[in-house]
Amino acid sequence: MNAPTEFARAVCPHDCPDTCAIRVTVEGGRAIKVAGDPDHPPTQGALCTKVSRYAERVHHPRRLTTPMKRVGRKGEGRFEPISWDEAFELAALRLSGIAGRAPEAILPYSYAGTMGLVQGDSIAQRFFHKLGASQLDRTICAAAGAAGLKYTYGASLGMHTEFFAESELILIWGSNPIASNLHFWTRAQEAKRRGARLIAIDPYRSLTAEKCHQHIAIKPGTDGAFALGMMNVLITEDLLDHAYIADHTLGFSELKTRALSYPPSRVAEICGVDEQVIVELARLYGSTKKAAIRMNYGLQRVRGGGNAVRAIACLPSLTGAWRERAGGVLLSSAGWAPVDSHALQRPDLMPGWPAKVSRVINMNAIGDALLHPGDAAFGPKIEAIIVYNSNPVAVAPDSERVAAGFAREDLFTIVLEHFQTDTADYADLLLPATTQLEHLDVHKSYGHTDVMVNLPAIAPVGGARPNTEIFRGLARHMGLDEPALYDSDETVAQAAFRWDDAALEGVDWESLKKMGWAKLNLPDAPFAEGRFRTPSGKCEFFSERLAQQGLDPLPDYLPPYESADSAPELAALYPLAMISPPARNFLNSTFVNIESLRSTEGEPHLDIHPADAQQRSIVDGDQVRIFNDRGSMQARARVTDKAREGLVVGLSIWWKKLAPDGRNANQVTSQALTDLGASATFYDCLVEVERT
Ligand SMILES: Nc1nc2c(c(=O)[nH]1)N[C@H]1C(S)=C(S)[C@@H](COP(=O)(O)OP(=O)(O)OC[C@H]3O[C@@H](n4cnc5c(=O)[nH]c(N)nc54)[C@H](O)[C@@H]3O)O[C@H]1N2
Ligand SMILES: Nc1nc2c(c(=O)[nH]1)N[C@H]1C(S)=C(S)[C@@H](COP(=O)(O)OP(=O)(O)OC[C@H]3O[C@@H](n4cnc5c(=O)[nH]c(N)nc54)[C@H](O)[C@@H]3O)O[C@H]1N2
Ligand code: SF4
Ligand SMILES: [Mo]
């Protein structure tokens, strides 16, 4: 007899702005199919290709199903199974010893393997705060852009994705939505059918740029200058909304002076595009009422990323595009949801809080941090690292140093994972975690404005446990008696939102659980009447807060750390700029081990312009070595003018051990940080390429 078929509701947990609602088909306790929920407006019944394979991932034969301890050398990946009790005993013994002496020698390392507020950072953070462990500055992705928005609008706020469908002009800026923001692309297509013009600003002719009316291939890391050049034209040709500027902005005259120092001729030089391209774009932008910008994080992974986002964010306040719901900017909508991060993470559990807080380690400099011997300035040497929701050995920059750090024999490493990733190979203890179909969670989104609930569809696979349950177990075995460490997942989920916030009017936990999602109550055109969340309530062209930190109060162009203009000696050795943005069929390093998706991507490739290839006697299909002072990797060359001259592109993020040479793009990326937000600079990277 066939097992009964059930349907459950889930939320895509991945680090993607779309936060789709999922319907899961369950048969005999197994998830056999996932599909986009047709009733959820942002999802419109469609999932991307990779998450359509989610059931394959959940029931994959290589899923980790039992705790394991290391028996081989660090990095070798040889383990033997142990019981949960044994695992907790081993962990408690080591961690208690370190915590008794130097709690800051313990470091959590996590990112967005799941975006869930419960399995992300709730019990885990409470646990580390209670111990007094080091804190992690979680800035690997979006912190430069978030800072750019914060100093301009006051928070990560912007247009609603659905209203892009009504826009007349859409600038897709540092963003490749066909790969990484599919449900926005649907809206942009709708706008295109209604006659809108789509323009991509991207050094690479991405899948998206290929399908726009115009592609402006600027040099990487020069977006701040490009935006200032547009402002220059808007100001000199008086394409401004003077009333909007007077009523809702701060510091126009200072911004004007700054913008006047960026005439199109200078900007053309910096950005490597024709002067006329800048002038025409600014004219079109300044004369279109419903002009919308979809910025994404691709443009802020360079030294000047924070300032670039800030400069671009100023544009709609100059032209008054915010007056229309189909005008403005969207980078992130994350700031709309009334999330109670204090209740979730309980920083007050830190010993000595708030007068004293624990040391903060920037996650982008994890290589240097793990190799630091410890001193008065750095604090204690890191003796234990607990990794969850992240795969740093594959995704963190300057990977030779990251791997060397993880290879330290005296470092105690715990990894909570679904699979034996590159990072898991270095674990002393490898603990099996549940996937989204096996645990409870709640979500906000950084692309739309719904809050959502994910209910477990199936029982945990094998002996897997939710992150929360694993940290509760650790706390219990360490004898920690803080009650907040033992809250159930449902209690944590209820604490995640400030239910009395006006945006959640009429919604409570029970109704949210029943409905699956709730759209926040927000105005359609968020800044039509100003009401920015800055201290002045205005769009701050001039930021007093930046001035007080001794930083430039106005947006400016900061050249990349690594470019021919800013570092000619380095560029003489390594003349090509390399970027390594996401491959369509992977989600960061997640899904690389799913055979059907990996086979679609094939193998690591490097897109190189015909002129650059010819100079190096490289022909299409050659195996090439990409290198700089930090390291090297191999890839198969694709000779194509999709990459502008001087740029090479290696779509990422490969698991090292699934690449033919056991390496990936982060072998060459650097640990340097952005101007604002201390974010990563993955796309600020010079290399040389040669045939192998
Ligand atoms: N399929 C898929 N989707 C994903 C992900 C994934 O790995 N795979 N990752 C998710 C995550 S964590 C994130 S943060 C987002 C990332 O997605 P996006 O925010 O879209 O960012 P990227 O893909 O890094 O870069 C987008 C585009 O910016 C371009 N770019 C690179 N440097 C510059 C520059 O200096 N200036 C300009 N103007 N453009 C530049 C790249 O060529 C690329 O085409 O996507 C999420 N969605
Ligand atoms: N070269 C280069 N490097 C990059 C980027 C780039 O564009 N180029 N992009 C950067 C960006 S934008 C980001 S956001 C980072 C992403 O870096 P990460 O956030 O580390 O992302 P993933 O590689 O997807 O790794 C997440 C891991 O979490 C695990 N996981 C998922 N859910 C759970 C769970 O519930 N519990 C536990 N314990 N584990 C879980 C998954 O199995 C996966 O191995 O990478 C950065 N690195
Ligand atoms: S990765 Fe993005 S597009 Fe794909 S299912 Fe998840 S939220 Fe939707
Ligand atoms: Mo990201």
**DSSP-assigned states of every residue in 279-332:** HHHHHHHHH-SSEEEEE-GGGGSSTTHHHHHHHHHHHHHHHTGGGSTT-EEES-
Number of domains in the chain: 4
Q: Which domain holds residue 635?
A: 568-691
- Which CATH number characterizes residue 317's domain? 3.40.228.10
Query: Could you give the angle at which helices 123-131 and 467-477 cross, rounded to 10 degrees?
Result: 30
* Mean pLDDT on 575-584: 97
Ligand 3: atom nearest CA of 12 is: 6
Are residues 418 and 435 both part of a single domain? Answer: yes
Q: Which of 331, 366, 391 is where one domain is finished? A: 331
Structure confidence by residue, pLDDT tens digits, 184-200: 999 999 999 999 999 99
Q: Which of 300, 331, 362 is where one domain is finished? A: 331
Q: Is the pLDDT of residue 421 over 50?
A: yes
Give 314 Cα–ligand 1 centroid separation in angstroms. Answer: 21
Q: Do residues 388 and 359 make contact, with C-beta atoms less than 8 angstroms apart? A: no
Structure confidence by residue, pLDDT tens digits, 377-400: 999 999 999 999 999 999 999 999
Are residues 301 and 344 both part of a single domain? Answer: no
Ligand 1: atom nearest CA of 112 is: 12
Are residues 599 and 687 both part of a single domain? Answer: yes
Q: Is the pLDDT of residue 466 over 50?
A: yes
| Residue 557 included in any domain | no
Bridge-based pairing state of the strands 412-417 and 384-388: parallel
Q: With bands split at pLDDT 50, 70 and 90, how would you rate the model's confidence at 1?
A: very low
Ligand 3: atom nearest CA of 54 is: 5
Give 121 Cα–ligand 2 centroid separation in angstroms. Answer: 15
- Which CATH number characterizes residue 368's domain? 3.40.50.740
Structure tokens, 28:
């005999």
% residues pLDDT > 70 (the chain)? 99
Closest by CA position to 648, among listed 624, 667, 631: 624
Q: Is the pLDDT of residue 255 over 70?
A: yes
Q: How far apart are CA 170 and CA 200, in angstroms?
A: 8
| Residue 504 included in any domain | no
Give 141 Cα–ligand 4 centroid separation in angstroms. Answer: 4
Evaluate: CB of 262 within 6 angstroms of ligand 1.
Answer: no
Secondary element (H or E) of residue 140: none
Evaluate: CB of 154 within 6 angstroms of ligand 1.
Answer: no
Counting Cα atoms < 13 Å in the Cβ hemisphere of 138 gives 15
Cis preceding-peptide flag for 278 (omega within 30 of 0): no
Q: Do residues 144 and 676 make contact, with C-beta atoms less than 8 angstroms apart? A: yes
Are residues 90 and 151 both part of a single domain? Answer: no
Evaluate: CB of 70 within 6 angstroms of ligand 1.
Answer: no
Give 452 Cα–ligand 1 centroid separation in angstroms. Answer: 25
Structure confidence by residue, pLDDT tens digits, 600-650: 999 999 999 999 999 999 999 999 999 999 999 999 999 999 999 999 999
pLDDT for 519 equals 98
Which of 48, 184, 517 is the pocket-test mutation for ligand 3 (most atoms within 8 Å of CB)?
48
For 535-600, strand residue ranges (E) read 539-540, 576-579
Are residues 264 and 178 both part of a single domain? Answer: yes
The average confidence (pLDDT) of the chain is 97
Are residues 474 and 373 both part of a single domain? Answer: yes
Are residues 317 and 398 both part of a single domain? Answer: no
Evaluate: CB of 447 within 6 angstroms of ligand 1.
Answer: no
- Which ligand approaches the C-alpha of residue 584 most closely? 1
Evaluate: CB of 20 within 6 angstroms of ligand 3.
Answer: yes
Q: How far apart are CA 559 and CA 438, in angstroms?
A: 46
For ligand 3, atom 3, name the residue with the nearest CA. Answer: 48
Which of 11, 20, 436, 437 is the pocket-test mutation for ligand 3 (most atoms within 8 Å of CB)?
20
Q: With bands split at pLDDT 50, 70 and 90, how would you rate the model's confidence at 7?
A: confident
Q: Which of 284, 310, 331 is where one domain is finished? A: 331
Give 14 Cα–ligand 3 centroid separation in angstroms. Answer: 7
φ/ψ of 331, rounded to 5, equals -115, -50
For ligand 3, atom 5, name the residue with the nearest CA. Answer: 47
Structure confidence by residue, pLDDT tens digits, 302-345: 999 999 999 999 999 999 999 999 999 999 999 999 999 999 99
| Residue 593 included in any domain | yes
Are residues 75 and 203 both part of a single domain? Answer: no
For ligand 2, atom 39, name the residue with the nearest CA. Answer: 389
Which of 175, 176, 182, 333 is the pocket-test mutation for ligand 3 (most atoms within 8 Å of CB)?
182
Give 142 Cα–ligand 4 centroid separation in angstroms. Answer: 6
Are residues 230 and 267 both part of a single domain? Answer: yes
Q: Which residue has the tokens 């990936």?
A: 664
